Structure 1
Amino acid sequence: MNAVPPKVQNQIAMIQQVQQQLGTIVQQKAQFEMMAKEARKAETELEGLSDDSDVYVTIGSVMMKQDREKVTTDLAEKIETFELRIKSLERQEKALTTKFEQLQSQIKGALEGAGAPSVN
């Protein structure tokens, strides 16, 4: 059996690195999606409150009363930030997936070209 050529070894190392990066991005995207979902839920709850309702926010380990309009504005900004970050992560995920597939194809081609002749 032939040894794996150095070029293919390098490509295998690269594909492992891309795979790790992809896993990290998928994980980050899931976290931001969860935070956006929670912020949207809070925004929906705020919309259902009467104008004279008290609104509290948690800051660290302390709950503080805040103006409802300020909280609503802050939530909208957070949601927008989360959605922008999710879109950015989706673009990175797509680029890494494409790179992964290209490397996978290159490795497969190199191994098939260097491998033993096929049996018919």
Structure 2
Amino acid sequence: MAMQKPDPELEKSLVEYENLERQLQVLVLQKHQLQLQLNEINLAQEEIKKARGDVYKSIGSVMVKSSPEDAEKDLKDRKDLSDMRLGTIVKQEEKLRSNLVILQKKLQEKMKGYGFGEG
């Protein structure tokens, strides 16, 4: 028995699934990068607490003298922004994962109609 050719709706759903998977991969990478950035900020904050006197902070490729208070404020601002971005990414990741599960179930049902996944 010859297999039926998948309909355009099934093909469209498969492409959508692949796109969602790629988006999820990008989000996971961004989340990982933000987590690393937050770890660096936490380490820097610990070092500032140990410092006596002025500290130096990197601005581009230049090191600039700063008071520990100013450096701590800059780090706190960066941390707050990174935490906010991380929260947004986590929510997006959860939504994408949920959409992928729903779409995967729909695809499995559609593909059964074409003889895939049986036997």
| Partner in structure 2 of residue 61 of structure 1 | 61
1:11 positional shift = 0.3
**Alignment: residue pair count:** 116
3-state DSSP class of the match of 1:56? strand
Distance 2:69 2:14 in 1: 54
Alignment correspondent of 2:45: 43
- Determine the C-alpha separation between the residues in 1 that align with 2:69 and 2:34: 24
Secondary structure of the equivalent of 2:113?
Answer: helix
The within-5 A match list for 1:30-109 is: 30-50=32-52, 53-109=53-109
Query: Which letter does structure 1 place at the counterpart of 2:92?
Result: Q
Displacement, 1:114?
Answer: 3.3
Segments of 5+ residues of structure 2 without an aligned counterpart are none
SS at structure 1 position matched to 2:5: coil
Cα deviation, residue 16, structure 1: 0.6
Other-structure match for 1:19: 21
- The runs of at least 4 consecutive aligned structure 1 residues that moved more than 6 Å come to none
**Structure 2 length-normalised TM:** 0.91
Give structure 1 stretches of 5+ with no counterpart.
none
CA offset digits 1:67-104 (Å, max 9, x no partner): 21111011011111111111110000010011111111
Amino acid at match of 2:7: P
Q: Equivalent residue of 1:57, what SS?
A: strand
How far residue 49 of structure 1 moved from its aligned partner, in angstroms, is 2.1
In 2, distance between residues paired with 1:63 and 1:114? 64
Counterpart Cα distance in 2 of 1:64 and 1:44 = 19
Tell me, in whole angstroms, the C-alpha distance in 2 between the residues paired with 1:7 and 1:102. Answer: 16
> Under a length normalisation based on structure 1, what TM-score does the superposition of the two structures give?
0.90
